[in-house]
Amino acid sequence: MSRLHIECEINGDDAEFLCDTDESLLDALRDEVGLTGTKEGCGTGDCGACSIILNGNLICACLAFAPEAQGGVIETVEGMADGDQLHPLQTAFLEHAALQCGICTPGVLITSKSLLERNPDPTETEVRYAIAGNLCRCTGYDKIVKAILVAAQEMKQNPIKGARS
């Protein structure tokens, strides 16, 4: 069986790749496109390590078939920084030590980016519910929650230039 040719937009750039129909979008991003920032944790949609944004919706890339990306718009952790300029969430995660082993971090970053786009000024409770689908086995979540709240304030004071909302 021939492989499928998929054309889409990834992190603002036109992209194309070949994939098998039974391949997950996560595997296609990592193995066909070479974007290995998005991680596989459980592979069953429980841990959120593979969180990406597809057509504006936060999803687990492990629970989508790669062909579903056809014509779509994808955002991954690799698209968060602007060159050497880290996204305020990334800066806050570093400054507040909101990561240890780092496997869950790309997913948590994308999830919190998606949250702040919908809700720029979340309460702590809203942050905790929003990241309920992202498991971290290292930090105990407090530092992650704090970093997201700090980043939200930072982004309110200094909006990201040219940010796609």
Query: At 65, is the secondary structure helix, strand, or coil?
Result: strand
Per-residue interface string for the shown chain with another protein, residues 68-107, x marking contact by CB under 8 A: x-x-------------------------------------
What are the phi and psi torsion angles at 34 (to 5°)?
A: 85, 15
Question: With binding defined as CB under 8 A, does residue 65 bind another protein?
Answer: yes
Among 15, 40, 67, 103, binds another protein (CB under 8 A): 67
- Span from 56-64, 81-89, 144-152, 156-164 in contact with another protein (CB under 8 A): 56-64
Q: Which of residues 127-146 bind another protein (CB under 8 A)?
A: 129-130, 132-134
Three-state SS across 3-57?
Answer: CEEEEEEECCEEEEEEECCCCEHHHHHHHHCCCCCCCCCCCCCCCCCCEEEECCE
As given in the structure block, the two tokens for residue 62 are 């492990």
Query: At 131, is the secondary structure helix, strand, or coil?
Result: coil
Per-residue interface string for the shown chain with another protein, residues 9-48, x marking contact by CB under 8 A: ------------xx-x------------------xxxx-x
